[in-house]
RNA sequence: GGCGAGGUAGCUCAGUUGGUUAGAGCGUCGGAUUCAUAACCCGGAGGUCACGGGUUCAACUCCCGUCCUCGCUACCA
């Protein structure tokens, strides 16, 4: 199957240009894709490795708004930071473009136009919030209001950041425009949707023809396809002034939905790189298309994007989507908003010249099959006891011995012993072994197999003891050093995809060129007479102070951001409004879980004059057995409502902090049920 | 609640279609060694493979149930 591949199109998820990239992004997609690309290049494969910043969407607009800057300034700033940091850590894109470029705008518009002309898009008029002061429609992100779920006052129109619920802006209570602060009005607006239901069969066939995909990827796709209500039509346009204009006459003020244009960014970057020949990389079936992404992007790359391509027609769909899970940091989820992250550009400043250490550690600990944890202690251990002690040490030993005994000149071997031949055989087999792992996207396994070459070297030296042998049998010592040098040379080649900087340093010391991967199998790397330089240490120890400093930095930046947020004040009301509320003291007499709902409790509350059934979303905050006997304050004249089929005749007053923790408001124990609260 | 992915030595992970004493790296303990960044090399200890059933001559591996973690999704007046 892999025999007739003529070229590879390798993509890495487009980083969103509203912030820098962190180690989670690196471990999740940039490092694996880079290792893969470097490996293929070393195999002399024809390939392109494309990426670029994703620069549209409401979040960019929002960020600009909050900084009083233009979107352009934001994306320029982060494009530069992202591009430079990825470049410095050695991610070898053939092109790192950006979606704000002319060529991308045209490509995305043409794509949209094709779908439109084919009649693939459905026009729908919907009601959307409009800011009359600002004179424009408001994207969900631009509307803030009270979350209907947790009543957090600063929920966004698409999601409440407090309780995490996905919302639609029309659900918000007291919505406010973030542009002008005024109350938005609902107005009709037209959008273009891509129906997906008729494609579900084709998409399912497509996914099912890739059962070899990683379980997390395949599983999530099938789960989506099998979901009860099928594939919903997706709106491909938005009312926004930052983005790619919809290329239709009656679409003023409308732009393409960022999720529509972003993946097309892969295509336009290819065009930018290859010109007319771009079609080879996107339409031919002898092209292997590999998308490297994080798990948050699975559905998009495996279902929505392929659906777009299918509908458009003529495209070759992704062959592999090796999505990684998430990387946690010191036991906690990486969070941009809480500043719980190790930012790549900061690492590069704090650890100059140690790009490969980060590459090594993140590859060794990459969340290939499940979420994984990055800790600074682990970083230190892997550096000190793997990179320094095993790899760096072996390389150094060989170089030192070579200088000491032969002034760096590779000696002439005499008869090779069985162990010598076994060692040489092992390094001959290394490329195939490591390559096999890489082709299966098992990067951590590949890395460990590479390290085994260094382990082999250390063992070989320990067993052969050239420093002893040389005293009585110089000829034998020469053979040993010859073999050790070959191992070292192979290492310099095999390291290359993973640790390109150190690999080059080592190769330079050895006076070697970068060789083809398969050429490394049968090869006398260093012929007798060649000169090996002294070198110096490939890696240096990372001391405790450095690690502690990083931990402190992390904690410090985190707490700085963890201030409590206060819910927005509501508008003034009149005394009469207040009088409408009927609040009473009650006692919970029964509590049970509502079936098929994680958060709901069905409570019975004794109000003195009667007992009421009340449903409350507090299940995750209390133990059932603690509730009976609890005095509570109850809104008793709220219109009854059914929740998950259970009647709720009132609402219990709760206090909630900014983290979403709930407690009952204090109600005096000695007040009888039914007492009025005012 | 539904769906998906996980739960294997102190830590991070492998375990192919079920088959003899469950593996690796790191850590730890002991030994050996000195060419080497107190590094390397050898050896030991350490696991009722989340838990409970079942199928089988045989299960970490298959089936059912339960618990826990992560993700998507529903519910939160």
pLDDT in tens, A621-668: 777 778 889 999 999 998 888 888 788 899 999 887 666 667 888 898
Q: Is the pLDDT of residue A427 over 70?
A: yes
Tell which residue, A33, A115, A88, has the closest CA to residue A301.
Answer: A33
Residue A516's pLDDT band, with cuts at 50, 70 and 90, is very high
Block residue for tokens 């494969």: A45
Sign, CA dihedral A444-A449-A454-A459, equals positive
Looking at residue A565, its pLDDT comes to 52
Answer whether CATH 3.90.180.10 is correct for domain A120-201+214-239: no
Write down how long chain A is.
Answer: 678
Looking at residue A163, its pLDDT comes to 47
Domain ranges of chain A: 120-201+214-239, 385-520, 575-677
Angle at A462 between CA A460 and CA A465, to 5 degrees: 100
Alpha-carbon distance A240 to A178, whole Å?
13
Would residue A541 be called left, alpha or beta, if left means φ above 0 and alpha means ψ between -120 and 50 degrees? beta
At residue A335, φ and ψ (nearest 5 deg) are: -135, 120
Radius of gyration of chain A (CA): 31
A595/A2: higher pLDDT: A595
Å between A645 CA and B75 C1'? Answer: 10
Looking at residue A160, its pLDDT comes to 54
Block residue for tokens 């109350």: A183
CB A9 within 8 A of CB A47: yes
Q: Among A53-62, A139-148, A587-596, which is the least confidently predicted range?
A: A139-148
Å between A7 CA and B24 C1'? Answer: 35
Q: At a CB cut-off of 8 Å and minimum separation 6, what does A472 contact?
A: none
Name the nucleotide with the smallest C1'–CA separation from A215. Answer: B5
| Burial class, A672, CB count within 10 angstroms (exposed 0-12 / middle 13-18 / buried 19+) | exposed
Minimum-distance residue to B13 (CA–C1'): A365
Residue A440 Cβ < 7 Å to strand B: no
Helix locations, A465-512, DSSP H: 466-472, 474-494, 500-510
Q: Is the pLDDT of residue A558 over 80?
A: no
Share of chain A above pLDDT 90, in %: 56
Residue A662 Cβ < 7 Å to strand B: no
Looking at residue A600, its pLDDT comes to 85
Residues 273-332 of A with CB under 7 A from strand B: 295-296, 325-326
Alpha-carbon distance A346 to A272, whole Å?
30
Helix locations, A176-315, DSSP H: 200-208, 215-225, 258-274, 278-283, 298-299, 305-312
Å between A466 CA and B14 C1'? Answer: 35
pLDDT single digits (tens) A226-270: 765 667 788 888 888 889 999 999 888 889 988 889 999 999 999
Q: Is the pLDDT of residue A3 over 90?
A: no
Task: Read off the pTM.
Answer: 0.85
Looking at residue A422, its pLDDT comes to 92
Å between A215 CA and B19 C1'? Answer: 26
Sign, CA dihedral A34-A40-A42-A44, equals negative
Q: Is the pLDDT of residue A340 over 90?
A: no
CB A36 within 8 A of CB A438: yes
A299-331 burial, b at 16+ Cβ within 10 Å, e below that, comes to: bbbbbbbbbbbbbbeebbbbbbbbbbbbbbbbe
Residue A163 Cβ < 7 Å to strand B: yes
A548/A177: higher pLDDT: A548
Å between A142 CA and B47 C1'? Answer: 54
Å between A222 CA and B6 C1'? Answer: 17
Alpha-carbon distance A204 to A381, whole Å?
45
Alpha-carbon distance A183 to A416, whole Å?
85
Sign, CA dihedral A101-A102-A103-A109, equals positive
Q: At a CB cut-off of 8 Å and minimum separation 6, what does A646 contact?
A: A594, A600, A602, A613, A615
Residue A392 Cβ < 7 Å to strand B: yes
Q: How many other C-beta atoms lie within 10 A of the C-beta of residue A26?
A: 25
Residues 596-625 of A with CB under 7 A from strand B: 596-600, 614-618
Å between A599 CA and B2 C1'? Answer: 15
Alpha-carbon distance A98 to A624, whole Å?
53
Residue A124 Cβ < 7 Å to strand B: no
The crossing angle, in degrees rounded to 10, of helices A31-42 and A443-464 is: 60
Name the nucleotide with the smallest C1'–CA separation from A171. Answer: B77
Å between A594 CA and B53 C1'? Answer: 29
Tell which residue, A368, A46, A65, A89, has the closest CA to residue A241.
Answer: A65
Residue A208's pLDDT band, with cuts at 50, 70 and 90, is confident
Å between A367 CA and B17 C1'? Answer: 26
SS3 A48: strand
DSSP string of A612-642, one letter each residue: EEEEES-TTTS-GGG-TT-EEEEE-SSPPEE
DSSP β-bridge partners for residue A122: A193
Minimum-distance residue to B38 (CA–C1'): A389
- The domain A575-677: what is its CATH number? 2.40.50.140
Å between A338 CA and B76 C1'? Answer: 25
Looking at residue A1, its pLDDT comes to 43
Name the nucleotide with the smallest C1'–CA separation from A617. Answer: B76
Residue A644 Cβ < 7 Å to strand B: yes
Q: Is the pLDDT of residue A318 over 50?
A: yes
Looking at residue A2, its pLDDT comes to 44
DSSP β-bridge partners for residue A613: A604
Alpha-carbon distance A72 to A280, whole Å?
33
Residue A468 Cβ < 7 Å to strand B: yes
A233/A455: higher pLDDT: A455
pLDDT single digits (tens) A265-304: 999 999 999 999 999 999 999 999 999 998 888 888 998 8
Q: Which helix (H) or strand (E) holds A72?
A: helix A71-88
Answer whether CATH 1.10.730.10 is correct for domain A385-520: yes
Alpha-carbon distance A179 to A139, whole Å?
11
Residue A219 Cβ < 7 Å to strand B: yes
Average pLDDT across chain A, whole number: 87
Looking at residue A536, its pLDDT comes to 85
Residue A401 Cβ < 7 Å to strand B: yes
Q: Which helix (H) or strand (E) holds A458?
A: helix A443-464
Structure tokens of A659? 């983290």
Most confident of A149-153, A568-572, A606-610: A606-610
């Amino acid at each position: 199957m892999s025999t007739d591949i003529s070229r590879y199109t390798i993509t890495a998820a487009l980083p969103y240009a509203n912030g820098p990239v962190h180690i989670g992004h690196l471990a999740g997609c940039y490092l694996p894709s880079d290792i893969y690309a470097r490996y293929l290049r070393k195999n002399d494969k024809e390939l392109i490795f494309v990426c670029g910043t994703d620069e549209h969407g409401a979040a960019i607009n929002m960020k600009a708004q909050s900084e009083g800057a233009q979107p352009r300034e934001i994306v320029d700033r982060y494009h530069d930071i992202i591009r430079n940091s990825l470049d410095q850590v050695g991610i070898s894109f053939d092109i790192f473009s950006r979606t704000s470029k002319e060529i991308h705008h045209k490509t995305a518009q043409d794509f949209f136009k094709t779908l439109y002309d084919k009649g693939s898009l459905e026009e729908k008029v919907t009601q959307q919030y409009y800011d009359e002061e600002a004179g424009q429609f408001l994207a969900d992100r631009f509307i803030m209001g009270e979350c209907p779920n947790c009543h957090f006052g600063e929920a966004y129109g698409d999601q409440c950041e407090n309780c995490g619920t996905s919302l639609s802006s029309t659900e918000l209570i007291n919505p406010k425009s973030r542009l002008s602060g005024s109350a938005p009005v609902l107005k009709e607006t037209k959008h273009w949707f891509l129906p997906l239901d008729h494609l579900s069969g084709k998409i399912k066939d497509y996914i099912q023809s890739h059962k070899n995909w990683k379980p997390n990827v395949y599983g999530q796709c099938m789960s989506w396809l099998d979901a009860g209500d099928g594939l919903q039509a997706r709106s491909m346009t938005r009312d926004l002034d930052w983005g790619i204009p919809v290329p239709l006459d009656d679409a003023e003020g409308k732009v393409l939905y960022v999720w529509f244009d972003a993946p097309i960014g892969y295509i336009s970057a290819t065009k930018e790189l290859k010109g007319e020949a771009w079609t080879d990389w996107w339409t031919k079936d002898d092209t292997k298309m590999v998308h490297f992404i994080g798990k948050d992007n699975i559905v998009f790359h495996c279902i929505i994007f392929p659906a777009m391509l299918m509908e458009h027609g003529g495209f070759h769909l992704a062959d592999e989507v090796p999505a990684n899970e998430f990387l946690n940091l010191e036991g906690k989820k990486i969070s941009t908003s809480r500043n719980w992250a190790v930012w790549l550009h900061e690492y590069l400043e704090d650890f100059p010249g140690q790009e490969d250490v980060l590459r090594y550690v993140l590859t060794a600990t990459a969340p290939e099959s499940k979420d994984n944890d990055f800790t600074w202690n682990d970083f230190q251990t892997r550096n000190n006891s793997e990179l320094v002690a095993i790899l760096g040490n072996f390389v150094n030993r060989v170089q030192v011995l070579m200088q000491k005994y032969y002034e760096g000149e590779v000696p002439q071997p005499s008869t090779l012993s069985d162990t010598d031949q076994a060692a040489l055989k092992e390094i001959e087999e290394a490329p195939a072994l490591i390559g096999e792992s890489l082709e299966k996207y098992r990067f951590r396994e590949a890395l460990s197999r590479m390290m085994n070459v260094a382990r082999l070297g250390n063992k070989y030296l320990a067993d052969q003891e050239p420093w002893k042998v040389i005293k009585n049998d110089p000829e034998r010592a020469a053979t040993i050093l010859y073999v050790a040098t070959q191992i070292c040379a192979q290492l310099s080649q095999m390291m290359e995809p993973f640790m390109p900087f150190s690999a080059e340093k080592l190769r330079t010391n050895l006076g070697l060129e970068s060789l083809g991967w398969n050429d490394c199998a049968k090869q006398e790397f260093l012929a007798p007479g060649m000169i090996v330089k002294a070198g110096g240490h490939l890696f240096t120890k990372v001391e405790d102070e450095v690690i502690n400093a990083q931990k402190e930095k992390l904690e410090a930046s985190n707490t700085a951001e963890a201030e409590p947020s206060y819910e927005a004040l509501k508008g003034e009301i009149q005394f009469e409004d207040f009088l409408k509320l009927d609040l009473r003291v009650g006692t919970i007499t029964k509590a049970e879980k509502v079936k098929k709902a994680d958060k709901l409790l069905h409570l019975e509350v004794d109000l003195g004059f009667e007992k009421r059934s009340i449903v409350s979303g507090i299940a995750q905050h209390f133990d059932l057995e603690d509730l009976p006997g609890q005095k509570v304050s109850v809104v008793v004249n709220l219109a009854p409502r059914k929740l998950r089929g259970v009647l709720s005749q009132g609402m219990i007053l709760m206090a909630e902090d900014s983290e979403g923790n709930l407690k009952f408001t204090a109600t005096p124990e000695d007040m009888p049920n039914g007492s009025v609260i005012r």
